[in-house]
Amino acid sequence: MGNRPAELRALLDSVAGQDGDPVQVVVVGNGSPVPEVPAGVRTVELPENLGIPGGRNTGIEAFGPGGRDVDILLFLDDDGLLARPDTAELCREAFTADPALGIISFRIADPETGATQRRHVPRLRASDPMRSSRVTTFLGGANAVRTAVLAEVGGLPDAFFYAHEETDLAWRALDAGWMIDYRSDMVLYHPATAPSRHAVYHRMVARNRVWLARRNLPALLVPVYLGVWVLLTLLRRPSRAALKAWFGGFREGLTTPCGSRRPMKWRTVWRLTRLGRPPVI
């Protein structure tokens, strides 16, 4: 959004310093001008903020329809920083070694402490962020995606704007037979923050949670999934204002169009369960 020029430059320098073949870079100004960037970095400036998925989809299209001009796409938050110079090479090696691997989720670590927040480990058993594993979703601002996945299942859901767009893509990819890995050795430094810092957090988290279920789950699981998340939200005891915003978003998710419904196969439900996260939580 153009408000972190120093952090963006540090990120671009960390990408330029990757081992192996040079990484092509596109910076998308999401409703804002793009700050000065190094020579060779392409830029796209959008007249309005399209949200996280809309901005990332624009970046994909900069590499041809569906990103077809490249084999792998990295999505990196502009206030992040690749911690190691071998991350791109590790991505190339991982995708080459495993033809079924569709998405890699990096480990996010605080640059000051090296600590990884539990919410940045994309599995239920998140106590050991140093353990790599197969997972059922991924982190939106620190990942690599095989473009063949996007060609088969489509990009991120533009209408989500913010929250859960990664899980929507992850579920569609898993339903198509692709796998997702969390790799603790692929690190993006990112300051430890709380997602609730965003004013729209509670409303959009709830709305998109409902849309996610309506779009992707078998009909029998939709009320179970949503019921579990209502219960979890109440157990977390948010403030009155946050709870009001959350239930407003929940109602919005029930009453507004959610896009195309493509319920996952029951064998995908079983796959998610075997991977440690049945699609009811």
Q: Give domain status of residue 279, yes or no.
A: no
Are 100 and 79 found together in one domain? yes
Domain presence at residue 273: no
Structural contact between residues 177 and 106, judged by C-beta atoms closer than 8 angstroms: no
Residue 248 forms part of a structural domain = yes
In a domain, 134, yes or no: yes
Residues 179 and 203 grouped into a single domain: no
181 and 222 fall within a common domain: no
pLDDT in tens, the chain (281 residues): 999 999 999 999 999 999 999 999 999 999 999 999 999 999 999 999 999 999 999 999 999 999 999 999 999 999 999 999 999 999 999 999 999 999 999 999 999 999 999 999 999 999 999 999 999 999 999 999 999 999 999 999 999 999 999 999 999 999 999 999 999 999 999 998 777 555 689 999 999 999 999 999 999 999 999 999 999 999 999 999 999 999 999 999 999 999 999 999 999 999 999 999 999 98
Query: Among 172, 193, 214, which residue terminates a domain?
Result: 193
- Domain identity same for 155 and 255: no
pLDDT tens for each residue of 148-205: 999 999 999 999 999 999 999 999 999 999 999 999 999 999 998 777 555 689 999 9
Does residue 95 sit in the same domain as residue 217? Answer: no
Q: CA of 214: how far to CAs of 69, 169, 254, 261, in Å?
A: 33, 14, 8, 7
Residue 232's domain comprises 196-260
> In this structure, are strands 133-135 and 72-76 parallel, antiparallel, or unpaired?
unpaired
165 close to 139: Cβ distance less than 8 angstroms: no
Specify whether the CB–CB gap between 243 and 203 falls below 8 A.
no
What are 84-96's pLDDT values in tens digits?
999 999 999 999 9
Q: Which ranges in 154-260 belong to alpha helices (H)?
A: 165-175, 201-216, 222-235, 240-255
